[in-house]
Structure 1
Amino acid sequence: MKLDTLIVKGIEAKHNPFGAVVPPVYLATTFVQEGLDGFGEFAYSRGANPTKQAFDELFAKVEGSKYAFSFGSGMAATAAAFSLLKTGDKVLLNNNVYGGTFRYVSNVFASQGISYEAVDDLNLLEEKDIAENVRAIFIETPSNPLLRVTDIRRIADIAHKRGILVIADNTFLTPYYQKLFDFGVDIVVYSATKYIGGHADAIAGIVTVNDDALAEKIKFARNTFGGIISPMDAYYLIRGLKTLSVRFDRQTQNTHKIIEFLKSHEAVDAVHYAGSYSQLEKQIQARQASDIGAVISLELNEKYDYKIFAKSLELFDLAVSLGGVESLICQPASMTHESYPKELQDKIGIKPNLLRLAIGVENADDLIADLAQAIKKAKI
């Protein structure tokens, strides 16, 4: 079954109570047990709930993984993956990742006796560069907000020689465009708030794994820390997932058109998208993903006021997040990556004039016209 069919038909109506076309939402916090000699599948909804389980099983099918665990947010999912580490361990990660992830490693790790290193370019990493206490490599590909691409297969091959876990954030491309288990990743995390939900109305995260032992640890972390989604949000994710292919294809088609417009405009110094950094990254992106997704970043040149540009947009709302049907714009330096020290922002290239666009499903010509009029107003 093709993926765009699976996301619609992955929960069969004939298996739902009364043949309901959509699965029911079980709001119950607790479930009656028949006796002390044996307990049922569900006892307390923090640990397991039929609606949440329905989504988890569906997403595991979509991912092509053995297990999927939903969480209350993308950061709860990432934190669960990091909970596998212990005092004395070290984590490598690419130096531009989601600001919340960097905030976690740069603040929480210290209190746990865990260290980290933000690597400038993981594609240049060699086995000899990896310290003995490195236990995990965390990768966003493409990265946030500069859309850098990492060769997942290469990193996984290096890491696994040393028994190092490879954890990857696949929020920007989802399993629809990028199947990371095919390239040797051990744990994949998502902010399901973004493209999986797709409508900016549910905050959630997902961890997917194939290994039985890792699955038990992630399940334990979810139940123990309590970072769960509500049954209603699980339903929203099931509903949102059904339209992933049509939404994401439209958003990505719009993105390609907008990139061409921006690249040819005299006001724009740079456009960042998956594969744009170098020929090598372009080749890697083509090898491990079927398209570039719908997040890009742009830099206006000094002849244009980026603040006026952002304020003048009418169809792009100034807001954090991405992946919904609506187009958004944000300033990473102040809105998503403010946890990065100024010196690190400067080193990476997170400049004040760097603006991130999350492209929606609106008409591409209307979006381009909106960008054009805002650029015109922003000219100094």
Structure 2
Amino acid sequence: MTLRYPDIFPKFVCTCSDCKDNCCKMGWDIEIDEDTLAYYRGLDSELGRRLCENIYEEDGCYYMSQPDGCPFLSEEGLCSVQQECGAEHISEICREHPRFYEWFGDYKEAGLGLCCEEVSRLVLTHERPMLFTEKQTDEAADDLEFDAELFAAVRTVRDRLIDIAQDRGFSVLQRLVVLSYCAEDIGDAVFDEDTERLKQLSGMLAIDGFRMEIVVHAQQNIKERRKVFGKAAELLRLFSVFGRMEYMGSLGGRFETDEKTAEKMLGAEAAFEAVYAGFQHELENVLVYFLYRYFIKCSRDLSACERLFSAVCMTLAVRGLFLREFAENGSLPSLERRIELVKEFSKEVEYDSDNMDIIYEEIQQNADIRDILCGLCM
């Protein structure tokens, strides 16, 4: 098996009791894998009895009952099961979270989810372009079917998209424009499973001059669009997408926006850009994360357009959260606050399939989604 992962992957270490948002306290349904369940049932101890009492079955799967958080979390915020039995005997999802994986035959990708506070810290404080490493492992190949030729073409295109996302000869907003302009062409090619067209698009997007042509064309197009639509309307449209979602915490209130608030945000935008100039790598890395994690899935579901537009949309939403707090407070939110916002956004939006469906539906139903997103970048 060939394993690929970003260079921050091996740096992750759970902060356990030091975490301000301990995932063991979330009340999520934690699935217990078969090997772990068998081990728990074989424990002849008080802990084994308590474990079995707190596990329930639903539709053939087993879960830890924890409406108020894991019942095996100690007062110090540590896992008592791990302390007594060892890390190898906690459930697989507990060992692996927030890591994620994708399998394609004898190729596997790994990464770290932004829903974790420590991962958001690693991503936002990583100042140089994200690099990816490949190594060989002794894991057996996956047997799920996929089109190997299409997968290879999609992977090449995604490498090009990540290259654009990290092209520091352009501003982050300009890079988002380039990605938005190529989304429909790439989407059509993937949907048609046209690998030759994907190769052509990848080659064209490798040319700096072609990227600049896209930016110049977009600027001209937005000038014409401004005669009909103001930028405030486009910001309100973006925030309304996220405002329709359901939230567990207070993040939803950050997307409740009226015209007055939108105008205030846009009035502070130039000052925000000047102050935030030295932190552009944060949004770059957030964008790379969304591209790396989700675009590769279109080699199976053919939804390249939705996956590319959603990466742009979510990156602009994160930027919008930063901009709103800057406009309200007159200063850039602290690094700790930016980490919190990114983590909450990931947990509430990216990790909620119903909320993600709202983004996909907006992209599918909105014929001018490209122009709206580009308008927010200029």
Smaller-chain TM-score range?
A: under 0.3
If asked which structure has higher relative contact order (CA below 8 Å, sep 6+), I would say 2
TM-score if structure 2 supplies the norm length? 0.27
Higher strand share: 1
TM-score w.r.t. length of structure 1 = 0.27
- Bigger Rg, structure 1 or 2: 2
